[in-house]
Amino acid sequence: MEYRQLGASGLHVPVLSFGTATFGGSNDFFKAWGNTQVDEATRLVNLCMNAGVNLFDTADIYSDGLSEEILGKALNGLRDKVIISTKATFPMGKGPNEQGSSRFHLMKACEASLKRLNTDYIDIYHMHGFDGVTPVEETMRTLDDLVQSGKVRYIACSNFSGWHLMKSQAVADHYGWNKYVGHQVYYSLINREYEWELMPLGLDQKVGGMVWSPLAAGRLGGKYRRNQPFPPDSRIAQGGSPVPESAISEETFFKIMDVLDEVAKETGKTVAQISLNWLLQRPTISTLVIGARNEEQLKQNLEAAGWNLTTE
């Protein structure tokens, strides 16, 4: 497994990391992603570790915290060998202070994640989205305090716009606080908006790209074909896709699939492996957060690393 530095940090992460939104399945939305419980989660974790994938990504909002709990149990005895990435910001209750990036919420959210993950520190702590109400100074000072306390080692963000990220970095730089070293973003062969503003910003500010849904919620997995309905077991068919259907026209999508099919025939790789490998050769990308509902899916996706597509 290849490892890359995460942005301006000294932390090296595998180019493929494992996302655990499929763990838990506590409601209809997350059941469409997956319903992985502890035993299967443990097998998936072991497959990752054997392949050199030691970064595991989750979030407090995933299945209302159940994903973190299951991951914590699956990582039993492995804590000093793994990198744990989790997130906060989205609502974890009905109260007005049970969401957002305020000091009040983040301190509470971090403690809750530590308990669920059964650990005393988080390696990479993300703001899951930008809080437009809380002053950026409050958020960045709180995150710096969490790093200084030893409860968090590195901070990152997720789904920020360019100005969200740049303002956060500028505030942290002004006060001498810790800055974001990673940005978890949506980026794929069929959705390349990341290249417009966030990629140049990442290059300038040395923020590593951590790509979520690199297969576009399974669209690039090779299952979707012209004039055929979505597979009934797919996240798109079940309404659990975080990627909007209108993000790309159907005609453009199938033109891309035609090219991917040709490359697959030439290389002997799958459409999914080619789609992932292409992303790994793009600027700023530190790691791709891949998910899997079962061991076979995971084994296939793990073969996306260790080789490179040619420019042709």
Q: Which residues are catalytic?
A: 62
Q: How far apart are the first and last CA of the chain?
A: 24
Dihedral angle, C-alpha 158, 75, 21, 282, nearest 10 °: 50
Contact (Cβ atoms closer than 8 angstroms) between residue 23 and residue 71 = yes
Specify whether the CB–CB gap between 160 and 186 falls below 8 A: no
Q: CA neighbours within 13 Å on the CB side: how many for 212?
A: 23
Give the relative orientation of helices 295-302 and 38-50 as an angle to the nearest 10 degrees: 20
Q: Which two tokens stand for residue 10?
A: 């000294």
Give me 102's structure tokens.
């305020």
Name residue 157's beta-bridge partners. 127, 183
CA distances, 214 to each of 164, 191, 258 (Å): 22, 9, 18
Phi-psi region of 121 (alpha: psi -120 to 50; beta: other; left: phi over 0): beta
Q: At residue 216, what is the residue type?
A: A
How is 59-76 classified by DSSP, letter by letter?
Answer: -TTGGGGHHHHHHHHHTT
Please tell me whether residue 310 adopts helix, strand or coil conformation.
Answer: coil
**Which of 243-275 are b and which e, b meaning 16 or more Cβ less than 10 Å from the residue's Cβ?**
beeeebeeeebeebbeebeebbeeeebbbbbbb
- Considering just the CA atoms, what is the radius of gyration of the chain in Å? 19
